[in-house]
Amino acid sequence: MVKKNICYLAILLISVFLDQISKFLVVANIPLNDEIVLLHGFFSLHYVQNTGAGFSILEGQFNLFYILTILAVIMLAYFYFKAKDDEKVLKVSLMFMIGGALGNFIDRLRLRYVIDFLDFYIFGYDFPIFNIADSFLTIGVILFILAYLFEIKELKWKK
């Protein structure tokens, strides 16, 4: 049991590490508000500082983000510990979501903004700039939906 939990904890720690190291590299190599075009018309690295949430909503609402992140991490951790051992996809999804939440939480605590840099143009639409933590959150949500559809046998959590 402990060995299994260490694997899931490793997923969480690796996701936070990858997020933070990517942000460090962006700040060290790209001036604020500059971009490096990697695939013209599709993808660039564009360093911005986001004081809000996705799409820059609720800019400057630091206390709200602190409270919501702490509550979300507690709730996700609760679900993790209540999940059954054979619900592996569910547990991985929860670790990705916690890792993503913590990656952005670290930025907000340390800097009072989130470092965003992944900028995609999809069918001519400039998608909002995001980061690795946001990617892990999204992957976690997708895996959670898949776990809900295909892995979770009952809606009751183990007691």
The answer to the question of residue 37 being in a domain is no
The answer to the question of residue 87 being in a domain is yes
The answer to the question of residue 99 being in a domain is yes
Write down the pLDDT at residue 82. Answer: 94
Catalytic residue at 134?
yes
pLDDT in tens, 97-143: 999 999 999 999 999 999 999 999 998 899 999 999 999 999 999 99
Catalytic residue, chosen from 19, 107, 119, 134, is 134
The answer to the question of residue 157 being in a domain is no
In terms of residue numbers, what domain contains 111? 2-31+48-53+62-116+132-150
Catalytic residue, chosen from 19, 107, 116, 119, is 116
Place of tokens 């971009």: 35
Q: Which residues contact 152 (CB under 8 A, 6 or more apart)?
A: 87, 90
At residue 78's C-alpha, the angle toward residues 109 and 95, to 5°, is: 60
Asked whether 83 and 17 are in contact (CB, 8 A), the reply is: no
The answer to the question of residue 13 being in a domain is yes
The answer to the question of residue 146 being in a domain is yes
The answer to the question of residue 102 being in a domain is yes
Distance of alpha carbon 58 from alpha carbon 42, whole angstroms: 27
Write down the pLDDT at residue 157. Answer: 47
The answer to the question of residue 110 being in a domain is yes
Residue ranges of the chain whose pLDDT lies below 50: 157-159
Q: How many CA atoms lie within 13 A of 99 on its CB side?
A: 28
Asked whether 11 and 99 are in contact (CB, 8 A), the reply is: yes
Write down the pLDDT at residue 55. Answer: 65
Write down the pLDDT at residue 80. Answer: 96
Write down the pLDDT at residue 60. Answer: 73
In the chain, the number of structural domains is: 1
Write down the pLDDT at residue 153. Answer: 61
